[in-house]
Amino acid sequence: MKTIILNIWRNKEFFFIPLLVFAVSCQKIVSIDLNAAAPHIVIEGNLTDQLDTASVVISKTGTYFVSSVNVPPVSHALVTITDDLGNSDTLKEIRSGNYQSATLKGVTGRRYTLKVVSESEVYSAISYMPKKVTIDSLYVKPVHERDGDIGYDIYVLFKDPQESGNYYRIRPRVNSLPPDSIQGARTFLYNDKLANGNEITERISIRIRSGERRTVNIGDTITVDLLSVDQATYEFYKTLQAIRSSDRSPTSLSPANPNTNLSNGSLGYFAAYSVDSKKIILQ
């Protein structure tokens, strides 16, 4: 059996060790005048192989530096998801800008087309739902961070299929909180470019913070979702990661909006993916 720990390469902070050695860097908050761009449509489409809800959230961009309140939802859009066999579902707007279908469940190996008609513009995207890859096991190792925080490394073991071109997103959840709610957690992405067909051990790190910023506690249940995504979804998250401040290196190139599979200039993504989940209790 072969195992591998691969995410080190992507931990950009290691590149800054030389900087720390050579210099004492300092930071300050500065005020910068930013232009207010005209509001632009953002579509987030998710379809899984589970009978949780297929969901499409449509909104418009807001002004930078102003709190989230001004990111306006887009209502009265016509939202449909069609598979390559011609089955079509229309999603209902259950909350402002939030379109769902309780009956739509994706099937792996199918290609899905999302179509959104809003304000007489048409946006569409195609996403392929890859075969499900299951998590074999999880284990946890505590890590003492240098700043005094305690962290947990969660190791996710799974077997990459023989065919190449598998892309994954690994998503931790705490207790019953929604996914992506762990503050400061990175977007964990993996592809099989270097280790196609092998047993994979991918490490994800979650920090326990002291005081008010505590994000996880001993006794919490951590659920890890292994999302098998297509290449376009992987690239969306990879390019998203490149501009997210928590993941960004100060020397990275001119930032750009993430690569999207949506047409007509829309921001966001439409991702069809299969999900496998496993739970572990922090001890």
Partner 1 sequence: MKINKLGFLLLILSMIIPQRHSVAADKFTISGIIKNKENGEALIGAIISTKGVKPIGAVSNAYGFYSLTLLEGTYIVQAQFLGYKTQMDTILVDRNQKMNIELTPEPIKVREVVITGERTNINVSSTEMSASKLQIHDLQSIPVLLGEKDILKTIQLLPGIKSAGEGNTGFYARGGRTDQNLIVLDEAPVYNSSHALGFLSVFNSDAIKDVTVITGGIPAEYGGRLSSVLDIKTDDGNMKEFGMKGGIGLISSRLTVQGPIVKDEGSFIVSMRRTYADVFLKLSSDTTINKTSIYFYDLNMKANYALGEKDRVFLSGYFGRDNFNYPNVFGFNWGNATATARWNHIYGDKFFANTSFIYSNYEYTNTLGTGTSQFTINSGIQDINGKMDFEYFMNSENTLLFGLNSIYHTFIPGTLTSASSSPSNAQSVEHKYALENAAYLSHEIEVGTGLKINYGLRLAAFTQLGPGTAYTYDVNGDVIDSTVHSSGKNIKTFTSLEPRISANISVDEESSIKVSFTRTAQFLHLLSNSTTTNPSDLWVPSSNNVKPQYADQIALGYFRNFEENEFETSVELYYKNMQNIIDYKNGADLQLNPNVESLLSYGKGWSYGVEFLVKKRFGQFTGWVGYTWSKTEEQFDKINNGNPFPARQDRTHDISIVAMYDYDSQWKFSATWVYYTGNAVTFPSGNYFIDGRLVPYYTERNGYRMPAYHRLDLSATYSFSEKSNLNFSIYNAYDRWNPYSIAFRQNINDPTKTEAVQTTIFPIIPSLTYNFNF
Task: Map the footprint of partner 1 across residues 33-92, applying CB under 8 A.
Answer: 34-37, 39-40, 42, 44, 59-65, 67-69, 71
Using CB under 8 A, pick the residue from 149, 199, 220, 276 that binds partner 1.
Answer: 199
Determine the 3-state secondary structure of 53 from DSSP. Answer: coil
Min separation Cβ 87 and partner 1, Å: 27
Position 162 contacts partner 1 (CB under 8 A): no
- For 77, other C-beta atoms within 10 Å of its C-beta total 20
Min separation Cβ 221 and partner 1, Å: 20
Q: What are the C-alpha distances in Å from 60 to residues 38, 92, 103?
A: 9, 19, 27
How would you class 237 by CB atoms within 10 Å of its CB: exposed for 0-12, middle for 13-18, buried for 19 or more?
A: buried
Residue among 22 and 283 whose Cβ is closer to partner 1: 22
Size of the site for partner 1 (CB under 8 A): 82
The residue range among 80-88, 121-129, 190-198, 218-226 that interacts with partner 1, by the rule CB under 8 A, is 190-198
Which amino acid appears at position 73 of this protein?
P
Q: Rounded to whole angstroms, how far apart are CA atoms 53 and 81?
A: 13
Min separation Cβ 11 and partner 1, Å: 8
Determine the 3-state secondary structure of 162 from DSSP. Answer: coil
The residue range among 9-17, 88-96, 129-137, 224-232 that interacts with partner 1, by the rule CB under 8 A, is 9-17
Give the HSE-up count for residue 185: Cα atoms under 13 Å, Cβ half-sphere.
26
Using CB under 8 A, pick the residue from 92, 95, 244, 279 that binds partner 1.
Answer: 244
Min separation Cβ 68 and partner 1, Å: 4
How would you class 110 by CB atoms within 10 Å of its CB: exposed for 0-12, middle for 13-18, buried for 19 or more?
A: middle
Using CB under 8 A, pick the residue from 102, 257, 264, 281 that binds partner 1.
Answer: 257
Using CB under 8 A, pick the residue from 194, 211, 219, 283 that binds partner 1.
Answer: 194
Min separation Cβ 180 and partner 1, Å: 4
Q: Rounded to whole angstroms, how far apart are CA atoms 44 and 82?
A: 16
Using CB under 8 A, pick the residue from 103, 120, 176, 251 that binds partner 1.
Answer: 251
Using CB under 8 A, pick the residue from 157, 267, 275, 282 that binds partner 1.
Answer: 267
Q: How many residues does this entry show for the chain?
A: 283
Among positions 101-160, residues that touch partner 1 (CB under 8 A) are 146
Position 245 contacts partner 1 (CB under 8 A): yes
The residue range among 84-92, 107-115, 128-136, 176-184 that interacts with partner 1, by the rule CB under 8 A, is 176-184
Nearest-5° Cα angle at 196, 227 to 143 = 60
Give the HSE-up count for residue 34: Cα atoms under 13 Å, Cβ half-sphere.
10
Position 242 contacts partner 1 (CB under 8 A): yes
How would you class 73 by CB atoms within 10 Å of its CB: exposed for 0-12, middle for 13-18, buried for 19 or more?
A: middle
